[in-house]
Amino acid sequence: MTDAPHAMNRRQLIRHGAWFGAAVGLAVVGGEVISHVAGTADAARIQGRPTLRFAQVSDSHIGFLGKANSNVASSFGQAIDRINNLGYTPDFVIHTGDLTHLATPGQFDQVKQMMTGLRTPHVFTVPGEHDSIDDGGQKYRSAFGAGTRGAGWYSFDIAGVHVIALVNTLNLKKLGHLGVDQLEFVAKDVAPLPSDTPIIVFSHIPLFAMYPDWGWGTDDAAQALSYLRRFSSVTCLNGHVHQLFSKTEGNVTFHSGTTTAYPLPPPGDGPAPKPVTLPAGKLHDALGIREVSYTRGHTTLALKDKALQ
């Protein structure tokens, strides 16, 4: 073996080992420095107190009975505890739909009662398709529709940020749908706003084509987004897909949130998005809540996803 033409002697091995060690050591030190700088930058942002801090929770599916999660009420309760223990009071909490699994009055009553336990001044919701199974969203609007317009859409301003809640789960064929009335609402709603107003849009079904074959998209979202093109910061938050996913298209960033009930498969993994039963002890890693903060002067929102674990 020692006669092989490319064999390395002991001295060469030690020398290369030293170079390798130096590479690993420098990479670790570099990583630490970058993380520290990032942490300092974040801390500086936080020290100036974000202009706005809120939490997102989604797809609680109260009333679901299945192997994928035998107690969705308990996991939703844990999500509420998680939000109540963020270390600050969020300015508001949004629930991005599928509050209930079968839209029964009892399920709406239960989820509404549970959400009164959220320690925040405001809770905002939009319906998921599970919340409007048999009545076009009537029961949902009876429970959560106070102060909304049309079929449950609305907008509000808080800390200089304009927030729009859209309903894209009514008149469903395959994809989500906003409809003419709601598109008109969006156009008129944003028309008087200056272009530097940060915009946050939340809906149940994604406003981007995440996986249209499974209905994970909204057929007329492009029209709504065209009204938002002139704004420098547009962030769209959604539920429905039960998993984290981010995408940027020009000035618009889309963030799908996870669920508090049960995971769904990644896009295209299998014939249909059926609840996934995870091995014992793994479920809570897939469930979670999201913290969102906005600091004036920044074009992007800071998101932090937290598992229920």
Partner 1 sequence: MNVTKLAMAVALAVSGVSHAYLYIHGYQHIPTIGTAFVMQASVSFALALLILIGGPSWLQWAAAALAGGALGAFVLSRTVGLFGFSEQGWQPSPHAAMSVVAELTVVGLWAVSVIGHRLVGHRFGRPDTRYA
CB 93 within 8 A of CB 55: yes
> Does 16 interact with partner 1 (rule: CB under 8 A)?
yes
CB atoms within 10 A of CB 91: 20
Contact call for residue 51 and partner 1 (CB under 8 A) = no
The DSSP code sequence of 40-79 is HHHHHHHHT--SEEEEEE----BT--BTTBS-HHHHHHHH
Draw the binding track, 110-149, toward partner 1 (x: CB under 8 A; -: no contact).
----------------------------------------
Burial of 111 (0-12, 13-18, 19+ CB in 10 A): buried
Under the binding rule (CB under 8 A), the answer on residue 305 touching partner 1 is yes
| Position 47 contacts partner 1 (CB under 8 A) | no
Pick one of 14, 17, 38, 160: the residue that binds partner 1 (CB under 8 A): 38
Interface with partner 1, residue 31, by CB under 8 A: yes
Our CB check for partner 1 shows the closer of 113 and 246 to be: 246
294 touches partner 1 (CB under 8 A): no
Q: Is 222 in the site for partner 1 (CB under 8 A)?
A: no
Q: Rounded to whole angstroms, how far apart are CA atoms 143 and 138?
A: 9
Burial class (CB in 10 A: 0-12, 13-18, 19+), 301: buried
Q: Does 17 bind partner 1 (CB under 8 A)?
A: no
Nearest in space to 98 (alpha carbons), one of 89, 107, 88, 87 = 107
- Measured from the CB atom, is 112 or 247 closer to partner 1? 247
Compute how many other C-beta atoms are within 10 angstroms of the C-beta atom of residue 270. Answer: 11
Query: Which two structure tokens, joined as six digits, stand for 287?
Result: 């469930």
Site for partner 1 contains 35 (CB under 8 A): yes
Nearer to partner 1, 142 or 300 (CB): 300
Nearer to partner 1, 229 or 304 (CB): 304
237-276 residues in contact with partner 1 (CB under 8 A) are: 243-250, 266
Q: Is the Cα torsion angle 266, 270, 271, 274 positive or negative in sign? A: negative
Q: Tell whether residue 296 is a contact of partner 1 (CB under 8 A).
A: no
Smallest separation, CB 278 to partner 1 (Å)? 17
5 binds partner 1 (CB under 8 A): yes
The answer to whether residue 65 forms part of the interface with partner 1 (CB under 8 A) is: no
3-state secondary structure of 271: coil
DSSP letter (8 states) at residue 3: T
Contact between 28 and partner 1 by CB under 8 A: the answer reads yes
Give alpha helix (H) positions in 134-289. Answer: 138-144, 180-190, 221-226, 283-286
Return the range that interacts with partner 1 (CB under 8 A); candidates 20-28, 94-102, 181-189, 194-202.
Answer: 20-28
- Write out the residues near partner 1 by the rule CB under 8 A: 5-6, 8, 12, 15-16, 19, 22-31, 33-35, 37-38, 41-42, 243-250, 266, 300, 302-305
